Amino acid sequence: MTQASPSHAGAPLVRFAPSPTGYLHIGNARPALLNALFARARGGRFLLRLDDTDRERSTEAFAEAVSEDLAWLGIVPDLFARQSDRVAIHDAAAARLKAMGRLYPCYETQEELERRRRRQLGRGQPPIYDRAALTLTEAERAALEAEGRNPHWRFKLDARTVAWNDLVRGEAHVDCASLSDPVLIRADGSYLYTLPSVVDDAEMGITHVIRGEDHVTNTGVQVQIFEALGSAIPVFGHHNLLTTVDGEGLSKRLGHLSLRGLREAGYEPGAVRSLAVLTGSAESVRAVAGLDELAGLVDLAQISRAPAKFDPQELDGLNARLVHAMPYAAVADRLAAQGIASGRAEAFWEAVRPNLAKVSEAGDWWRVVTGPVAPVIADPVFIGAAAALLPVEPWDAETWKAWTGAVKASTGAKGKALFMPLRLALTGLEHGPDLAGLLPLIGRDAVLRRLAGEV
């Protein structure tokens, strides 16, 4: 067994390396945030490195969207790189591995490999690559290439166990003897994820690699590549993955859970951050507005080994709690974008925010304040009596109490029989913000018109 036990003193350098082949989703937010918060808590740096070696699926539009989504989450990378700009460095590393005999050419087609796997399974053998390519003579390789076959290249694994002290999982290991030699270079000459990731981590000085537990096996392979290249091995941490409530894995095809979709739906970045980071950890999931506070709550060693289930309804609750605590200054520009920019805007926000799940809902209540509304007059006699008792202006937060007190004394109505007819007449709705706050915003003239049943 080989123990990978790197030592990295000083400030960490972490990275998030998404492929720009689609929009980031809530599952991608988890490793991005865990890395950014890990660095933030330790005075380190965060690298955004686009894994854009998939030439067919990577687009500039998706690359720009990655940066936009991270910025919305509050992540501003300290460093930026594209793997497509670093191909010459990857080529040099591949040449070194070839010269060492650790990277070797293979000529089998996918159909041939699949037939071998079926035979192995039929014999009760593990379906791993049999290294048949290593037995080919020069003449046999030349003959295969004359047929028009281009080789793919596999990394020759040492048949040993690689172990490391995982930031999340504790003592971890991978038995590389049970694995097929991984393909690092396709037959068309393009790289798979594995080699560029190792080469860039090593060359750029990445100290800690924090990623999903679906990469645990990759780590066993990559440690051997680090060693073959004579590079320092980073510290690894493999966190649990976010899933849907039903246990389904998240993917870019789930557009409603994309960060762009969540942003457009009116969710606050603080709510998304809180749920993406705290779900599946020892910390209770709660609304945390600031990055510094959230960074102080992240303890990788306290992340559960069980899948972390993402519940959109929980996101709704977190979002509402954040909105209820937001001061007017934090939302003034967003209210103005909804046409709420008069001298009454701050008082309006204080009145309606306890009833909002999203800031974007404020515009609905602004239309209730400014009208027109369709009053619901269920009892004209009662409403007429209330209109006659309406106080003169100026009005303040105590006007509603004074008015309803007078109506109660005059009509004998109380409780729901007192308040519901007035709410329906003034707003046309059965529920809403406290009318003590809305009444001064609506104003006496508009209140009288609504009590008269005018739209």
Within-domain flag for 45: yes
Q: Indicate if 252 and 393 belong to the same structural domain.
A: no
CA–CA distance, 366 with 357 (Å, rounded to integer): 15
CATH label of the domain that carries residue 270: 1.10.1160.10
Within-domain flag for 335: yes
pTM (global) more than 0.85:
yes
What integer best gives the mean pLDDT of the chain? 94
Within-domain flag for 108: no
Within-domain flag for 176: yes
CA–CA distance, 120 with 26 (Å, rounded to integer): 39
Name the domain boundary from 313, 348, 370.
370
**How much is the pLDDT for 256?**
56
What value does the mean pLDDT take over residues 370-390? 96
| pLDDT band (50, 70, 90) for residue 6 | very low
Q: Indicate if 162 and 200 belong to the same structural domain.
A: yes
**How much is the pLDDT for 31?**
97
CA–CA distance, 15 with 32 (Å, rounded to integer): 8
**How much is the pLDDT for 411?**
97
Q: Indicate if 389 and 359 belong to the same structural domain.
A: no
Within-domain flag for 147: no
Q: Indicate if 366 and 408 belong to the same structural domain.
A: no
Residue 341 has pLDDT above 90, yes or no: no
Residue 146 has pLDDT above 80, yes or no: yes
Poorest-pLDDT segment among 84-98, 138-152, 300-314: 300-314
Residue 7 has pLDDT above 70, yes or no: no
| pLDDT band (50, 70, 90) for residue 254 | low
Q: Indicate if 224 and 251 belong to the same structural domain.
A: no
**How much is the pLDDT for 8?**
54
CATH label of the domain that carries residue 202: 3.40.50.620
Q: Indicate if 305 and 344 belong to the same structural domain.
A: no
List the helix and strand counts (H, then E) for the chain: 19, 13
Cβ within 8 Å of residue 415, ≥6 positions away: none
**How much is the pLDDT for 5?**
46
| pLDDT band (50, 70, 90) for residue 114 | very high
Q: Indicate if 275 and 291 belong to the same structural domain.
A: yes
Q: Indicate if 339 and 233 belong to the same structural domain.
A: no
**How much is the pLDDT for 97?**
98
| pLDDT band (50, 70, 90) for residue 310 | confident
Within-domain flag for 287: yes
**How much is the pLDDT for 288?**
94
What value does the mean pLDDT take over residues 353-364? 97
Poorest-pLDDT segment among 257-261, 319-323, 329-333, 362-366: 257-261
**How much is the pLDDT for 308?**
87
* Residue pLDDT, tens place only, 273-294: 999 999 999 899 999 999 999 9
Q: What percent of the chain shows pLDDT beyond 70?
A: 96
* Residue pLDDT, tens place only, 408-430: 999 999 999 999 999 999 999 99
CA atoms within 13 A of residue 61's CA, in its CB half-sphere: 4
> Structurally, how many domains does the chain consist of?
4
Q: Indicate if 309 and 427 belong to the same structural domain.
A: no
CA atoms within 13 A of residue 68's CA, in its CB half-sphere: 16
Q: Indicate if 83 and 68 belong to the same structural domain.
A: yes
What value does the mean pLDDT take over residues 347-357? 97
Name the domain boundary from 223, 242, 261.
242
CA–CA distance, 259 with 241 (Å, rounded to integer): 16
Q: By residue range, what is the domain housing residue 363? A: 328-370
| Structure tokens that stand for 321 in this block | 């709690």
**How much is the pLDDT for 91?**
98
Within-domain flag for 412: yes
Query: How many C-beta atoms lie closer than 10 Å to residue 240's C-beta?
Result: 20
Residue where the block lists tokens 């306890």? 354
What value does the mean pLDDT take over residues 13-35? 95
CA–CA distance, 338 with 334 (Å, rounded to integer): 7
Q: Indicate if 231 and 260 belong to the same structural domain.
A: no
Within-domain flag for 138: no
CA–CA distance, 73 with 272 (Å, rounded to integer): 8
Residue 44 has pLDDT above 70, yes or no: yes
Q: Indicate if 303 and 230 belong to the same structural domain.
A: no
**How much is the pLDDT for 157?**
98
